[in-house]
A and B are shown apart, each in its own frame.
Chain A
Amino acid sequence: MIEVKSLSKFYGKKAVVEDISVTIQPRKITSFIGPNGAGKSTLLSMVSRLLDADTGDVLMDQTDVRKMKSNEFAKRVSILKQSNYMNVRLTIRELVSFGRFPYSKGRLTEEDERIVDQSLEYMGLTDMQDQFLDELSGGQRQRAFIAMVIAQDTEYILLDEPLNNLDMKHSVQIMKILRRLVDELGKTVVIVLHDINFASVYSDWIVAMKDGRVVKDGPTEQIIQSDALKEIYDMDIPIQQMGGCRICVYFNS
């Protein structure tokens, strides 16, 4: 379980994240939603130690994450950011193999190779594992990076807008894989999403942020309600029930 306790981050005097406390439920998909500039990515960066918090603590199973060794932390929590620019030319397999670095420090064992194979299989990349990343489409690249995170084999998987720039087919594909990671492998997935319908259909829990604060925090059915969304987005969003999914029709509101 990850507990965020009164976490704040300031840039100059402006608070980007202000006094946030949330608890991430294990073995669930938790979505962070909210308008641009709400501090979702900053919060995720602080939870994953990419960014130092100014005040407050992040506790993982009652341990302060700042006190954990880098390598031990990397075996338990992985993060994938929005942009993944690299200076080197790698094949998909080489990238995915990097996911085993916390365990093998670059010398892959047979066990590592097996896990890499599995991750590639899981993301449907086995056939193109020897292609270079810079020759791939956005969706394939994103899948390769997610395969790396799967190979890292952590309890917690944090993803910062993994659906950015993806078409509908690939977005659905990735969300389904995340669902499988939770349901089949017992992972805990935390994801920043912009499309609230993806959050509605795939997540178990939703945390809504606005202006650096948490405005709503609850199970999906409670958040995907017109009055709750009004508070988050300042928009009147009607909600339709379609085939068991709650769909927000925000296009003309």
Chain B
Amino acid sequence: MRNSIKMMILALVAAGCCVLYLFHDLNGSFDYALPRRAIKVIAMVITGFTIAYATVVFQTITHNRILTPSIMGLDALYMLIQTLIIFFLGSDHMVSANKQINFLISVAAMMVFAMLLYKFLFKRGDQQIYFLLLVGIIIGTFFTSFSTFFQVLIDPNEFQIVQDRMFASFNNINADLVWLALVIVVGVIIYAWRLVKYLDVLSLGRETAINLGVPYDSVVKQMLIVTAIFISISTALVGPITFFGLIVANLSYQFFKTYKHKVLISGAVVMSVIALVGGQWVVERVFSFSTTLSVIINFIGGVYFIYLLLKERKKA
């Protein structure tokens, strides 16, 4: 029962953040400012949801609480795509300048990459998850080095545009993209609904899960694909921000102290909405845009990550 009270308080705080962001200092600009703010809030909720969901699921599948799905190299691929587009086509080319086209190309490329990776690796039978992660790290590093190579060669003015995309930002969000992303995310949630019940059992380990009748390989495969879709969407929507997932997932574990994934995922989602919407409000009103949200998140996230590492080391 206590967890449901905690959840209610968190949900209220999240709703409070949204209201504060939407209406603070609005000055009666209901026609102009409010719809624009609303789009941003929806974008932040989508991002928060996808990142939190994907991270909790990914950590359950890998049995590891200090991994994020970025280890699969998806955000590295996103940066590579952006760099290559600007390097070969220029920043004023349609593929770079038109946000819808850019979004679709990025999501499609990340999805194709994830599918190929899984397809290639799932042929191999046992113990594939850690091998999958290893291949992900290596390919991710390769993508990063490759992007750096092109970024060094690129025209300095064009590089500014690449650099701008290296950090997640909510300041410039396209409304059409938000609706498109929302449709995809809702579709995936419905698809994955019947799989969520298996997550609790997956956290008991592969053998116990199979013993309890979970079709392990198929569930893990589908869940990894869901994770890849969510990460692709949030990355293409606002930029690389997967580190953020690590913080909210672990906060949710510590706060709720349960094995129930419905609670853990909802908790992580609500916390990420608080952090994103509340944080964006602070960026806009307190720092008056002198910094970006992702810088703050990476700073806090980094400190928290070190804390986690030290704590895990003590346990071992």
Residues of chain A lying within 8 A (CB to CB) of residue B126: 51
Report the number of A-B residue pairs with Cβ-Cβ less than 8 Å. 64
* Contact flag A99-B212 (CB < 8 Å), given A51-B126, A81-B207, A85-B205: yes
Report whether B213 and A86 are in contact in the complex, using a CB–CB cutoff of 8 Å.
no
Residues of chain A lying within 8 A (CB to CB) of residue B257: 89
Residues of chain B lying within 8 A (CB to CB) of residue A80: 211
The yes or no answer to B119 lying at the interface (CB within 8 A) is no
Report whether B197 and A98 are in contact in the complex, using a CB–CB cutoff of 8 Å.
no
The yes or no answer to A200 lying at the interface (CB within 8 A) is no
Residues of chain A lying within 8 A (CB to CB) of residue B158: none
The yes or no answer to B201 lying at the interface (CB within 8 A) is yes
Q: Which B residues are closer than 8 A to A by beta carbons? A: 63-65, 125-126, 197, 200-201, 203-208, 210-216, 257, 259
Report whether B259 and A94 are in contact in the complex, using a CB–CB cutoff of 8 Å.
yes
Report whether A102 and B197 are in contact in the complex, using a CB–CB cutoff of 8 Å.
no
- Which of A50, A72, A84, A98 contacts B210, CB < 8 Å? A50
Report whether A86 and B204 are in contact in the complex, using a CB–CB cutoff of 8 Å.
yes
What is the CB-to-nearest-CB distance from B187 to chain A, in angstroms, rounded to a whole number? 23
Report whether B207 and A86 are in contact in the complex, using a CB–CB cutoff of 8 Å.
no
- Chain A 60-89 interface mask (CB, 8 Å, partner B; 1/0): 000000000011111100111100111111
Report whether B63 and A49 are in contact in the complex, using a CB–CB cutoff of 8 Å.
no
Number of interface residues of A (CB under 8 A): 30
What is the CB-to-nearest-CB distance from B3 to chain A, in angstroms, rounded to a whole number? 14
What is the CB-to-nearest-CB distance from A188 to chain B, in angstroms, rounded to a whole number? 16
The yes or no answer to A1 lying at the interface (CB within 8 A) is no
Q: Which A residues are closer than 8 A to B by beta carbons? A: 48-52, 70-75, 78-81, 84-90, 94, 98-99, 101-102, 105-106, 152
What is the CB-to-nearest-CB distance from A90 to chain B, in angstroms, rounded to a whole number? 6
Closest residue to A149 on the B side, CB-wise? Answer: B211
The 10 nearest A-B residue pairs measured at CB = A74-B213, A102-B213, A71-B213, A88-B259, A70-B215, A101-B212, A87-B63, A88-B203, A70-B213, A106-B197
**Besides the contacts A70-B214, A87-B203, what 15 more A-B pairs have beta carbons closer than 8 Å?**
A48-B211, A50-B207, A50-B211, A52-B125, A70-B215, A74-B213, A75-B213, A85-B205, A86-B205, A88-B204, A90-B259, A98-B208, A102-B212, A102-B213, A152-B211
Residues of chain B lying within 8 A (CB to CB) of residue A89: 257, 259
- Which of B63, B65, B207 contacts A79, CB < 8 Å? B207
Q: How far is A84 from B205 in the complex, measured between Cα atoms in Å?
A: 8
Report whether A78 and B211 are in contact in the complex, using a CB–CB cutoff of 8 Å.
yes
Residues of chain B lying within 8 A (CB to CB) of residue A52: 125
Residues of chain B lying within 8 A (CB to CB) of residue A106: 197, 200-201
Report whether A70 and B210 are in contact in the complex, using a CB–CB cutoff of 8 Å.
yes
Residues of chain A lying within 8 A (CB to CB) of residue B215: 70-71
A sample of 18 inter-chain contacts (CB < 8 A) reads A49-B210, A50-B206, A50-B207, A50-B210, A74-B213, A79-B211, A80-B211, A85-B205, A86-B203, A87-B63, A87-B205, A88-B204, A94-B259, A98-B204, A98-B208, A102-B212, A106-B197, A152-B211
